[in-house]
Amino acid sequence: MNINTINEGIRKNVKKDRVGRGPGSGNGKTAGRGSNGQGARAGFSLSPVFEGGQLPLVRRIPKRGFNNKVFADVVESVALKAVLRKFDGSVEITPEVLEERGLIKSAKSIVKLIGSDEMPKAFNFKVHRVSEGAKEAVEKAGGKIEILPGKKPVVKNKMKAKKAN
């Protein structure tokens, strides 16, 4: 940034252009709006993607594939090492507590406990998923893991599910 450009864009104490005030102003008659048409009318605003009636670029480009990102489950993993750093053995560890301590972004996401580190203290966990190594390490230290209910899996083909029963 240069010192001579520091105030660019700031129009303080600058008179507003008075358009449509005769030929001497340089912006007389049509007030800089050209001749008749949509753009010459009061209240006119144009979308930046409008292409004058031509099929817009967004609609011309072919769409491919399928995206289900909005509905995908967000699984946040928590390492046993991180838990050892942030907690002592006195508190029960739930998604809400993990969010408070900054180990996960949101308590609404699915929490998975991972890692196979040796645990010096017994911890009680309430999580949605747990790896085999983490389960063994927690139980070896005398802790407990309670599996929280998650979303039920979607049945893709209901007819196949009925035949299986």
Q: Tell me which residue range forms the domain holding 106.
A: 70-147
- Max mean pLDDT range (73-77, 135-139, 147-151): 135-139
Q: Which of 5, 36, 64 is the last residue of a domain?
A: 64
Q: Quote the tokens at residue 86.
A: 């942030």
46, 39 Cβ separation under 8 angstroms: yes
Residue 60's pLDDT is 93
Q: Which residues does 40 contact at the CB level (< 8 Å), separation at least 6? A: 30, 33, 34
Instruction: Give the residue, 125 or 165, on which the prediction is more confident.
Output: 125
* pLDDT, mean over the chain: 87
Residue 162 within any structural domain of the chain: no
Give yes or no: residues 60 and 85 share one domain: no
Residue 4 within any structural domain of the chain: no
Does residue 144 have a pLDDT over 80? yes
Please calculate the CA angle 66-68-70 and round it to the nearest 5 degrees. Answer: 145
CATH code assigned at 118: 3.100.10.10
Number of domains in the chain: 2
119, 79 Cβ separation under 8 angstroms: no
Give yes or no: residues 139 and 75 share one domain: yes
